[in-house]
Chains A and B, each alone.
Chain A
Amino acid sequence: GAGVSQSPRYKVAKRGQDVALRCDPISGHVSLFWYQQALGQGPEFLTYFQNEAQLDKSGLPSDRFFAERPEGSVSTLKIQRTQQEDSAVYLCASSPIGGAEDTQYFGPGTRLTVL
């Protein structure tokens, strides 16, 4: 079946603009994750959903970042009043069950550039 998809693939925003990044997980996957990957670094955890419940948002860097998954499928990561330090690749991943041994399958990412 289809993998994880993300849109847009590239986003350029002026500082202060709001952006919304979309993730379509693999169909039927219970768990969904958002990660932030800065240039030259490994991905850093942002937030985790199990179905529609946001169980962990400890990695969100500020209250400008907000994520939702209202129907337990598609998720949106919203960044308000973007800053230059928000420039990064935002990766979405999904996994089947939600157990710690589950494999996370990643989408291609959205590259956000804030000018």
Chain B
Amino acid sequence: AQSVAQPEDQVNVAEGNPLTVKCTYSVSGNPYLFWYVQYPNRGLQFLLKYITGDNLVKGSYGFEAEFNKSQTSFHLKKPSALVSDSALYFCAVRRRSNDYKLSFGAGTTVTVRA
């Protein structure tokens, strides 16, 4: 079974509007959760992660994500999107154990129009 689901292949928003990229996970226990962004012909860039503590995590470039254990979700948010935020976003999960590998979702393409 897939560990991470990103239900939207594409998200389109206007510049200045709020941006939300959805992610749900299906692993047992309390996992570690990550968001990465990928620009064309470049590797993955780390945005933020949830390890423990406050459910609202703040990361790079004004992004934040909220961990919701009851809904097994970790949605990525940005209050005011920029055209430069247009990219491919990946949610990833890692079990709280000696399972070192990241399991990624299929990705969500974000397009921010001017």
User: Which residue numbers of A lie inside 8 Å of B, CB to CB?
Assistant: 4, 31, 33, 35, 40-45, 48, 55-56, 59, 91, 93, 98, 100-101, 103-109
Q: How many Cβ-Cβ contacts under 8 Å join chain A to chain B?
A: 63
Pair B43/A101 contact, Cβ less than 8 Å: no
A65 to chain B, nearest CB (A): 15
With a cutoff of 8 Å between Cβ atoms, the chain A residues found around residue B94 in the complex are 100
Q: Is B44 an interface residue (CB 8 A)?
A: yes
Q: Whole-angstrom distance from the CB of A102 to the nearest CB of chain B?
A: 8
Contact B101 A45 (CB under 8 A): yes
The chain A residue with its CB closest to the CB of B100 is A48
Which residues of chain B are near A45, meaning CB under 8 Å? 101-103
A-B contact pairs, 5 of them (CB 8 A): A91-B44, A100-B95, A101-B49, A103-B49, A108-B42
B window 59-112: CB within 8 A of A? 90, 92, 94-107
The 8 closest A-B pairs by CB, nearest first: A42-B104, A45-B101, A106-B43, A106-B44, A108-B43, A101-B51, A43-B104, A107-B43
Known: A42-B90, A109-B43. A104 touches B102 (CB 8 A): yes
On chain A, the residues within 8 Å of B34 by CB distance are 103
Q: How long is the Cα–Cα vector from A44 to B90 in the complex, in angstroms?
A: 12
Give which listed residue, A41, A56, A107, A109, contacts B101 with CB less than 8 A: A56
Instruction: With CB as the reference atom, state the residue of chain A lying closest to B46.
Output: A103
How far apart sit A45 and B92, CA to CA, in the bound complex (Å)?
12
Tell me which residues across on chain B come within 8 A of A33, comparing CB atoms: 100-102
Distance of A109 Cα from B102 Cα, bound (Å): 16
